[in-house]
Chain A
């Protein structure tokens, strides 16, 4: 079955890098995603990575995938107070609907 695990909280100082970690169990995962949810809002897709990739970089965001350990991480460089939100890791399996399974989310708190 599909299961996605994340730590619940992360606190960083403004300007530092944030690293949010995620583990998943289904080895047939095809896509792995990071979503951001701000208070009272829906989810915003930040980035995604195919399971045949090791790394993807997009401006301040770097996604690293260790397929052997089923470990995904999101690094946010130069973290800003506007990055404070809940970050969800999700996976989807190849074959039809590609409906993602979400983790419980990591609350990122950025303090001055």
Chain B
């Protein structure tokens, strides 16, 4: 297993266009998270899945953002009608979920850097 992978690593788009990012978690990790990180800030939580169910969404996740994890494996994050303020690094992380509910380590991918012109 090579860890969490994200594609593309970089994306430049024009304002108003739609973009989609993909995250492949570590195999058999139940939980998958999306974060946004802007320059000089820590990651901010966007949403997370447990298997295919989207369990929580941040208020940062506007109506233009949608995430899916249709088969409980990879996930996609789509941003519609991109705005310049969407420019950021989008990070994905995955973690296993133990039977006791004990917090397991989140493993982060390298991120997708989005630039909206």
Q: Is the CB of B110 within 8 A of A42?
A: yes
Q: Is the CB of B42 within 8 A of A103?
A: yes
Question: How far apart are the CA atoms of A90 and B93 in the complex, in Å?
Answer: 15
**Distance to closest chain B CB from A105 (angstroms):** 6
**Interface presence of A44 (CB below 8 A):** yes
Question: How far apart are the CA atoms of A101 and B4 in the complex, in Å?
Answer: 21
Q: Is the CB of B108 within 8 A of A31?
A: no
Interface residues in A, total, Cβ within 8 A:
23
* Contact status of A43 and B43, CB under 8 A, knowing A97-B56, A99-B56: yes
* Contact status of A41 and B103, CB under 8 A, knowing A102-B42, A102-B43, A104-B41: no
Mask for A87-111, Cβ within 8 A of B = 1, else 0? 0101010000111111111000000
Question: How far apart are the CA atoms of A99 and B105 in the complex, in Å?
Answer: 11
| A45 in complex: contacting residue of B41, B56, B106, B110, CB < 8 Å | B106
Question: Footprint of A on B, CB under 8 Å?
Answer: 4, 33, 40-45, 48, 55-56, 91, 93, 103, 105-111
Please provide the 10 A-B residue pairs with the shortest distance between their CB atoms, ordered closest to farther: A102-B42, A42-B108, A98-B103, A43-B108, A42-B110, A99-B45, A88-B42, A42-B109, A45-B105, A102-B43
